[in-house]
Chains A and B, each alone.
Chain A
């Protein structure tokens, strides 16, 4: 899989009159894994949602591989996203959760189940397919959420505080797995976190959102690590 170029230019989002994102510019090269840092409430998650199309910016342009997608609805952007609390579908089995994206893409049943099962094995949950997602542990649910996003081979993967709220041991273990998985897929990835160490361990480079606010006036790149 080849990751896509993602460019944000002059992204401005206002909620209830206050600019939560103010003319943010950001360029992410194909296949790059970027850590986006900032305190809570600084607009990191909103920026991810702008890339995913879940929030339409009040101003600015989002381009993916050179194509303006600012007005393209989420489901046609080919952007995968992992949510902080996973958002697994409680009425579907584990395998059906993982296969959901393939089903949306029109992949036939046996193929998508085979590929979903493959991915479950890859995240260490082989044989978990028939389990109810409501009975998974925190770490298992996180792995299922990752598999569900990655199985569709999105060219851009967005991760919104994926490891927040997990206990220390599990967190450290998943940091390693996540870094490996993301680099192996070759997708462009943005991981939002407030933990600089976590970003450092997973991402190719880390950015502070505060530095991106205000067009032209900020450093766009903290340099490669």
Chain B
């Protein structure tokens, strides 16, 4: 066999393995230890407030999911069945909204909604719905496209009215996709953190937000740990339930290859399709436009001062906030650079190691997926309590935030590269060997050159994740070194139009940067990784959904949408 020598594989995997153990496993164990305390458990479960938070978390997620599904079905139908001007643009727009950092999305709705609706549960639900529309439209739309219109026609010739056709034929057949998409939306809204930090009020707290509040605001670390584990347990139940129900609803459908979307023919079709597409576009664009408008308007009129004075920390002459928006921007860029570097190096080493190690590589592969199944808040919280005491008081180190973010981002780098590496034909290495190349040399000449393009994609994803990361960063960043999302949340949380407009201006910058990066990934990603890339959705929770059926192929909808699912953490 022309395998890499063991010591090379060992060198490759040592860094990712140690990193995972130190920065993920150890904090996680600490979290559990912290939570195993009869006193704390009693305190948490004995409090009425805990149950009202659990209840709120559940019902707002359920309502958000249900509304997203109902609202998303119409555009899913329109893009699956019809080819209309701007169809691709509409899909890109929905994806762009979907990949926005949570804090930016919260800010956008804060900007859009009238004051009377701000900081209500309805604002939160509305944000969740628009945020996640892309999940429904992409996932359900893809399956709908594979459902032949002829099937619906057959039902019509048997006497079924359009409503009956939808109820009796269409809906049952697209249900696996609907269920899968709904599970993903529920997961996102159940663990909603950034949106609620910006938009929420005391009555609208999710478990996630309560973990943060107890840990960082109230100093009840033990109780926060209990809540974090409670949430993890609930997520585990959800994932199990969703994979069981997905398996049950999966059906070997004899679905034909794509029936191409067609032009609307009759006047009625044209009117309905344009109404659906137009409304969806407005719904997706309005928050983004509101963000821009609010960054240049104050109660006293239009002004560009938020933009021109972005670097000034002064609110009024002589009074400073202690928060410098422009510094947050540069700090975010610096953090993103380090995160990208860490995630890319570790991800590349891990991918090369996993690809070369065969069976043993699967352990590291699975291990690297674990951070994806854990909420960013839990990761940040674990690191906070672990690296807070001597001799591991690394909290004040400049690298702790990039490391936390890299933990969130590295699995995506691995996902984007591993598939390509595995797709390299092993017989090429054998051919190289017959030409006289030693195993290491053959590997360097044959396998390694395939690394660069997917790695570039992975790096862009890591940068996007870092720029928008809020969950883990909320725990790890310190005042004076805020990243953009942290600064935005703080600015919007204060009163005073000067601060608000600056918060909106920063949101516009962050939105533009994220959308730019993701569009770049979408363009090059499809070329670089092609279909060889494994589905990024296949991690413990989202995987439960996307594995549901071979024809539910959310990955084929858009690489960016999938890759960036965690950019919003």
Contacts and interface: CB of A to CB of B under 8 A. Distances in A.
A89 interface: yes
Most-contacted residue by chain A among B157, B158, B253, B254 (CB, 10 A): B157
Contact of B159 (A49, A89, A101): A101
Nearest to A78: B159
A74 B149 CA distance: 14
A54 interface: yes
B254 A89 contact: no
B159 to A, nearest CB: 4
A91 interface: yes
Contacts of A73: 156, 161-162
Contact of A52 (B157, B172, B251, B253): B157
A207 to B, nearest CB: 22
Given A87-B154, A90-B253, A104 B160 contact: yes
B interface, how many residues as a size bin? Answer: 20 to 34
B158 A149 contact: yes
B153 A54 contact: yes
A89 B251 contact: no
Contacts of A91: 172-173, 251
B155 A100 contact: yes
A81 B173 contact: no
B266 A85 contact: no
Contact of A87 (B148, B159, B265, B266): B148
A80 B157 contact: yes
B153 A87 contact: yes
A100 B155 CA distance: 8
Given A16-B263, A90-B251, A104-B159, A83 B169 contact: no
Interface in A130-178: 134, 148-149, 152, 158
A81 B172 CA distance: 22
B266 A56 contact: yes
Nearest to A158: B157
Contacts of A134: 252-254
B151 A89 contact: yes
A184 to B, nearest CB: 20
Contacts of B154: 81, 83, 87, 89
A90 B173 contact: yes
Interface in B252-280: 252-254, 256, 263, 265-266
A148 B151 CA distance: 13
A54 B156 contact: yes
A79 interface: yes
A175 to B, nearest CB: 22
Contacts of B169: 89
A2 interface: no
Interface string B142-176: 00000010110111111111101000110011000
Nearest to A74: B156
Interface string A76-118: 1011110101010111000000001100110000000000000
Q: Which 8 A-B pairs have the closest CB atoms?
A: A104-B159, A101-B158, A87-B154, A74-B156, A81-B157, A91-B172, A87-B151, A87-B150
Nearest to A133: B254
Interface in A52-67: 52-56
A149 B153 CA distance: 12
A89 B167 CA distance: 13
Contacts of A89: 151, 154-155, 169, 173
Contact of A75 (B150, B160, B254, B256): B160
Contacts of A79: 157
Contacts of A104: 158-160, 164
Contacts of A74: 153, 156-157
Given A52-B153, A91-B251, A101-B158, 18 more contacts: A49-B153, A53-B156, A54-B157, A55-B265, A74-B153, A75-B159, A75-B162, A81-B154, A81-B157, A87-B154, A100-B155, A100-B158, A100-B160, A105-B159, A134-B252, A149-B157, A149-B158, A152-B158
A52 B159 CA distance: 11
Contacts of B160: 75, 100, 104
A111 B162 CA distance: 25
19 contacts: A52-B157, A55-B265, A56-B266, A73-B162, A74-B156, A74-B157, A75-B159, A75-B160, A75-B162, A76-B159, A79-B157, A87-B150, A90-B253, A91-B173, A100-B158, A100-B160, A148-B158, A149-B157, A149-B158
B150 A83 contact: yes
A75 B265 contact: no
A74 B168 CA distance: 16
Contacts of B150: 83, 85, 87
Contacts of A80: 157-158
A188 B21 CA distance: 76
A128 to B, nearest CB: 17
A90 B169 CA distance: 9
Contacts of B151: 87, 89
Most-contacted residue by chain B among A83, A91, A101, A148 (CB, 10 A): A91
A31 to B, nearest CB: 20
A105 B164 CA distance: 12
A36 B153 CA distance: 21
A52 to B, nearest CB: 6
Most-contacted residue by chain A among B148, B156, B256 (CB, 10 A): B156
Interface string A6-45: 0000000001100000000000000000000000000000
Nearest to B149: A54
A55 B155 CA distance: 15
Nearest to B147: A90
Interface in B124-156: 148, 150-151, 153-156
Contacts of A53: 156
B159 A152 contact: yes
Contacts of B164: 75, 104
A55 B160 CA distance: 16
A19 B254 CA distance: 33
A10 B148 CA distance: 30
Nearest to B148: A87
A9 B173 CA distance: 38
